[in-house]
Structure 1
Amino acid sequence: MNDLRHLRDLHLAPGQYPAGRSHLSAASALVRCAGYLYVVADDELHLGVFRADDGAPGQLLRLFPGELPAAPAERKAAKPDLEALALLPAMPGYAQGALLALGSGSRPNRQQALLLALDERGAVRGAPRLIDLAPLYAALHLQFADLNIEGAFILGQQLLLLQRGNQGQAGNAAVHFAWPAVQAWLLGQAAAPLPQAVQILALGELDGVALGFTDGAALADGRWLFSAVAENTTDSYRDGACLGAVLGLVEADGRIRRLASLGPQWKVEGLALQQRGRRLLLNLVTDADDPRIAASLLALELELPG
């Protein structure tokens, strides 16, 4: 797509990475808050923090203790697999809102979340709070044989979690939770809620390979955007060849419109938007499935259909 712009690679300031690497590689979700871009990478124990409006190298904020193995197979088995990052509204104890980073749920060790308070400038303040996702995910494991949560965002009074389907497996779904009930659970005031609804969504294919959700973001009118990739894999654990990525729109009645094809070059895994009327300013982050290659930050402008 000619309008898709490469802004920069996600390089880190010197000394940030524990093992000396100079970049984030496997960016898996993106949130824009005030002047910050927050990035989770599915093979890291840290949150990437970048300035939104300049090209300065990023900083790392530790989320989990310890270090991951360097060898690819061992690292894959041990990683917390953070695949979703949501910007939460103000709530008791979090007057300026919070970030919620969620594991995919695809393995027992991938059922953890981190809750991070924000200050009035949109910066993270204080230490992250670890949350066990197993109570929230229990009902989802009954619904999906291969749970793989890839996106999370607030839509009105609901929290939506995006389940990614795989080639030849169960399809994609948007899992709707009542946000007040999730908030009460996060604050330790109630048990984990059950989903209000599970919305199965057919995203279609690219070159015969099924599209699977990678992230989503709410629009002001109740509709929502999603990114999806065609990755030739049959389960949530193994990576496969990526044949391309798309952006789409889910209407209030569940109808899907494919808005843009992003081509085979970019495996887009994270999406953040700024809305100005019908004009959308999008930032996207990528995962090259290769730790030697830096994730990229992309930009795209779109006109919303009526």
Structure 2
Amino acid sequence: MNHSHSQRRQFLRTALGLATVGPILPATAWAQADYPRHPIRILIGTPPGDTVDGWTRQLVVGLSASLGQPVIVENKAGAHGMIVGNAAKVADKDGYTLLVSTGGPMSINPSVYGSKLTYDPVKDFVPIGPFTKGALYLYCNNDVPVTNLKEMVAYVKARPGKVSYGSGGTGTTQHLSMEILKKATGIEMVHVPYKGSPMVLQDVIGGQIPFAFDAGGSLLPQVRSGKVRVLAVSTPTRSSLTPEIPTLVEQGVPGFDTRVWAGLFAPAGTPQAIVDRLNKDLNQAIQAPKFVELLRVGAAEPWSGSSKDMSDFLKADIERWRVVVREANVKPE
């Protein structure tokens, strides 16, 4: 009988102890354990139809499959990436609102906008990881009588200050690539910023703007259909995906090397366990055959890495573009 009472007392002490310990565990620990429990939003600062938008929409097919939840892409274009940057920055730090961003908003904006930039790419976000990188292409309207860089330079120099070029906005990689080219070749051109690359491409096709740089995803199909003409690729060596297109280095601009890249980010403070889970699924999703093929068609390639790899790359890229912005004297619009 005493033995039975003793067992009951021991059971009650154990049960009470468990009841006391249970609530001490952070609620986030339980949330992380079964993450994700509902759909995930990915915010992107480019308009529908942009190259990176297309890449992201194909990427989420693989992410949705591996995460077991729908992943929804939401475009928030405008204000040079600040609209989407602000929305992602203040989102809950629970892994359900993520950000796809690129070199312009993350690497170049800090130097162009300085204290006016409403987010800090390093302090306000934690990288999940990179997912692609690719070349840019210098292209022109079909009616412009040039077929290579030498002819372009001669054409522009014969019309000082009268030839324009378009970009998806001030501080984009496309904008800064042309500024580097202008400085290297001694030409003067008028920058016309747009709200996204698709509108630039439309106006180059239509003849409103003669020149621009763009990534291959949206551009190369138009090149292959004969609607615009490519003059050069921005990487130091020819792309194996477009081996017929010469580099700017080959055409007399030593060291020219600019690329587009895209990565996935979360608000700073997102639990490391969720970051690690997303990194694993991201690195798996970028190997999906349909995603790889979409990149290949646009002369880009999958780029895998850890959260730290992306963080280290971003810090170095910010410093690299800081020099370019200063030398080109780029000012906010």
Structure label with greater radius of gyration = 2
Which has more strand, going by share of residues?
A: 1
Report the TM-score, using the length of structure 1 for normalisation.
0.24
Report the TM-score, using the length of structure 2 for normalisation.
0.22
Which has more helix, going by share of residues?
A: 2
Structure of higher RCO (CA pairs closer than 8 Å, 6+ residues apart): 2
